[in-house]
Structure 1
Amino acid sequence: MLKSIINYILDLGPAVFLPALMIIIGLIIRMKFRKAFTSALTLGVAFLGMSVVLDFMFSAIGPASEAFVKNTGLQLKAIDLGWTPLAAIAWAWPYAFLIFPIQIAINLIMLAFGWTNCLNVDMWNVWNKILTAVLVAGVTGSLPAAFIVAGIQVIFELKNADITQKQVYQITRIPGIALPHSMSMFAVVLAPLNRLLDFIPGLKNADVDAAKLKEKIGIFGENHVMGFIIGILIALFAKYDFKQTLTLGVQAATALTLFPMVAKLFMQALAPISDAAGEFMKKRFPGREFYIGLDWPFLAGQPELWVAAIILVPFILLMAVILPGNAVLPFGGIINICFVVPALIVTGKNLVRMVILGVITTPVFLYIATTFAPIITDLGKKVGTVEIPANQLITWNGMEMPVFRWVFSQGADIINGNFLGFAILVGWLAIYVWYYKHMKKREEIAEKELSANA
């Protein structure tokens, strides 16, 4: 019965489910129904609008990437199908619906004891925890280990939302919102690398975001012009003809123009809910600040995110060709949102650093996607949600938080005697301790800057 209810809710999709949840939250925090309904419906429009623009851009860039790989003549047997087939495999797991109450229970317990200030309403992305459980079960063969690691992931996501909320606000200017999405955990890898860039001459003070780029290069820094130029370059990379090249250029220009427009709807939708929630919580929990955890698209209005993502496409394709041992044919995840979202936060939307870090870490995504390909393919065949040709593997280049999933699946495999994997997990946890302290300091600095500006 629980499984049927959850499946029915999820089938509504985030554009319907999240607004419905927001109306309920709005009424609980004493918003007038008219205001709660208007804000919630605007949020649904924002999510659906962003989805339309994303699909438009992916459908334009994807074929160009595929054309490039065909031109190389290489046979890469693990096809990157993107997140959708992986979500289907995750939801088809027999125990998937049990992760739902686990996430809700952990979140409520942490809120009650003051261990987090984030109420994560992004229930749609519970499938990320399910995917982690599926991969851990595939590596270890242990169901308890799968559920334990999925629960650990929920805790890490909420704590990460706590230590980045002010920095996210500095980027988006949307109040009362945090990012408890799994992809943000890749920041644990990016933050130390970003800190190392401080010691490279010329990079420490090279703070280049879209606005500063526009000041320096004029019209070439405009969203639509940058999109057009990048689209043309990718088309040339794919050996498109003249007509196809111009078309891809205009399509990329269109996407980069529309993203900030749609993103404004998130501000319009969430500001009233955030204000009402803040007042409600202040009366009942004086001294505590609560915020709502949402899916990543509320960050999608930042042009740096898309410029970096598209610039990295040729590098991803090139590395797929030249890296020894790589089996991944980038396609569905060729625009690596799973990298650029955490990179946007870690670098403070510094475009130069985002591109550098993207080039450095692209092999991580490709190799981990290669490692998990046999497990994902086997699971896909078992659940029957994806038709897989003989001698073909499927995978996902993005993998959202590839290092976390690989490290914890290997660490949990200590039950089968994998002591090396457990040692690697301990090493990752040591890096995480540094990361947590580092981001806490940055959060304190962000809070002081916001107070001074206020």
Structure 2
Amino acid sequence: MTILKDVVNYILNLGGPVFVPLIMLILGLVAGLKFKKSIVAALTLGVAFSGMTLVVNYMMDAISPAAKAMSKLFHLSLNAIDAGWTGVAAITWSYKSAFLFFPLLLAINFVMLTFNWTKTLNVDMWNVWNKIFTYVVVLYFTHNAFFGFLVAGFQIIFELKAGDMWHRHIEDLTGMPGVTVPHFITLFAVILQPLNKLLDFIPIMNKPFDADALQKRIGVWGDNTVMGALIGVLLGFGAGYSISGSLNLAIKAATAMTLFPMISKLFMTALQPIADAMSGFMQKHFKGREVYIGLDWPILAGRNELWVTVIILVPIMLVFAMILPHNTVLPFAGIINLSFVNAALLLTGANLLRMITLGIITTPIFLYGATYFAPVITNLAKTTGTVKVHAGQQLSWSTFEGPDFRLFFAQAFNGKWWAIALALLWTLGFIWLYRDQNRIKLPSQRYGILKPATAAAAPAASDTNDTADDVDLNDLSGLDFSDAKASNESKKSASPKSNVADDVDLNDLGGLDFSHTSHEKRGDKRE
């Protein structure tokens, strides 16, 4: 046990930007990628992770003080301190049994890959802490360690299956082949799914509202840099900053929004050769099998819809913290709601309007989840001795990950009948989500195509192709073309030197009966 613990701690001390590239280097070499290309790809991946971490921290360091200033303006005084995900993760890693969850994850992943129950190979070892924390939550309510390991195992299975279903959406949104995000935060899509389906009935929600579409609609105001600056300056004024302070925040937000897509391209550069090598390896040795490499959520951070949404939700979360009865958590370190936005990005296909709407609706879930689980986090902090909590105070996390899953399954194993029912309902919801995401159109195809006003009358090439695809010679079965033929022949005799194109006349089809033409095939192609 001591050796295993030492090995795990050594791996953790390497950090994600070192450990994940090492794993990818090994995978590239095993898949037959040349050593030089494997080294370059692995190093580029490490640079991408480090760069994304730098910019994410830069963004959060810029926004968090503004959020704190805004909370003072709202006169918020609540007794649960928001440690954010970094604080809770640090406390969780200090738990005495943390090292046991590495072999648990590897064993479940190996078994599921062996029996073809998943296509996801999860190399995101850092986020094992999520499983550890789930164990701690279940143990707190049930006082049964076996139940804790069991629910953590369920979580691993759900995450791997989520990785399978998100793969094609992630490739469409980011351009990165062969990768996925088997992260616990994406499972919040189970709660978002029915709400997102209800939004289908609102016409404006079915329009394209990703960053590119927005730029086409509103011009320069939809540009990533301009949009970041605008949101930054508004947030600064909302926090009571001076003009210079607001402008500084605007530049910082614009900087982050500009750099995110640039760093995202590094992920694509690094992952493309490894993905190609893995694909060739699988086709050679395991025909018909695919394997997706499971990575952490920052590979999605190049989508600016993600950052626009979380910044807009900052003041909304503070308002909810002020007005929600029985809420005890003051949002601060965790106010950037990454626990919501990644699931929303993937589920809606980066539809900004849907993401913001879903964020407003579900923000109370996170605040009440943070309030409910504050005693668990406080107890964990006291048990590990990593953080000193003063008398009369609690420690929490305002955007608590997976409050739905952890509440339902922890209390279900605690024997609560309502929780058993909700855990079963949640599982059925995941099955519905899984099936829906495997057959729904890709994000780039899901919403209507925005056309420039000057070219509105001209059909797009894709529209022409779609029309051609709908043509079936069987549709003309039974039609009488004798009159058309006679008419055409008379024209040919009248002007023998005419072009073939000149021979075509729509009047030749006059009087024909198209009532038997089949439209079913066309209908089948629409989702």
The equivalent residue for 2:165 is: 163
Q: What's the offset of the Cα at 1:74? A: 2.3
The equivalent residue for 1:172 is: 174
When residues 448 and 70 of structure 1 are mapped into structure 2, their CA distance, relative to the original with a 3 A threshold, is closer
C-alpha deviations, 1:89-138, integer Å up to 9, x for none? 21111111111001001001000101001111111111111111111111
Whether 2:393 is the aligned partner of 1:392: answer: yes
Aligned counterparts of 2:187 and 2:278: Cα–Cα separation in 1: 26
Whether 2:228 is the aligned partner of 1:230: answer: no
Amino acid at match of 2:384: V
Whether 2:99 is the aligned partner of 1:60: answer: no
Kept in 1: contact 2:327–2:368 (CA 8 A)? yes
The equivalent residue for 1:48 is: 50
Aligned counterparts of 1:79 and 1:46: Cα–Cα separation in 2: 32
| Secondary structure, aligned partner of 1:335 | coil
Q: What's the offset of the Cα at 1:154? A: 0.5
Aligned counterparts of 1:42 and 1:400: Cα–Cα separation in 2: 30
Kept in 1: contact 2:76–2:330 (CA 8 A)? no
TM-score by length of 1: 0.95
The equivalent residue for 2:5 is: 3
Kept in 2: contact 1:160–1:185 (CA 8 A)? yes
The equivalent residue for 2:297 is: 296
Q: Which moved more, 1:380-389 or 1:59-68?
A: 380-389
| Secondary structure, aligned partner of 1:292 | strand
The equivalent residue for 2:433 is: 435
Structure number with larger C-alpha Rg: 2
Aligned counterparts of 1:157 and 1:128: Cα–Cα separation in 2: 11
Whether 2:352 is the aligned partner of 1:357: answer: no
Q: What's the offset of the Cα at 1:449? A: 7.0
Q: What's the offset of the Cα at 1:448? A: 12
| Secondary structure, aligned partner of 2:326 | coil
1:53-452 residue pairs with structure 2 within 5 A?
Answer: 53-203=55-205, 205-414=206-415, 418-442=416-440, 445-446=441-442
Aligned counterparts of 2:54 and 2:184: Cα–Cα separation in 1: 22
Kept in 2: contact 1:316–1:334 (CA 8 A)? yes
Kept in 2: contact 1:209–1:304 (CA 8 A)? yes
TM-score by length of 2: 0.82
| Secondary structure, aligned partner of 1:202 | helix
Q: What's the offset of the Cα at 1:357? A: 0.3
1:11-50 residue pairs with structure 2 within 5 A?
Answer: 11-50=13-52
| Secondary structure, aligned partner of 2:293 | strand
Q: What's the offset of the Cα at 1:235? A: 1.1
Kept in 2: contact 1:315–1:359 (CA 8 A)? yes
Q: What's the offset of the Cα at 1:202? A: 2.9
- Structural RMSD (CA): 1.7
C-alpha deviations, 1:330-374, integer Å up to 9, x for none? 111111111111101100000000000000000011100110001
Kept in 2: contact 1:132–1:149 (CA 8 A)? yes
Q: Quick one: percent identity of the two aligned structures?
A: 51
Q: What's the offset of the Cα at 1:429? A: 2.0
Amino acid at match of 2:73: N
Higher RCO (C-alpha under 8 Å, 6+ residues apart) = 1
Amino acid at match of 2:102: F
Q: Which runs of 5+ in 2 are unaligned?
A: 447-464, 467-527
Aligned counterparts of 2:75 and 2:35: Cα–Cα separation in 1: 59
Kept in 1: contact 2:45–2:266 (CA 8 A)? yes
Q: How many correspondences in the alignment?
A: 446
| Secondary structure, aligned partner of 1:333 | coil
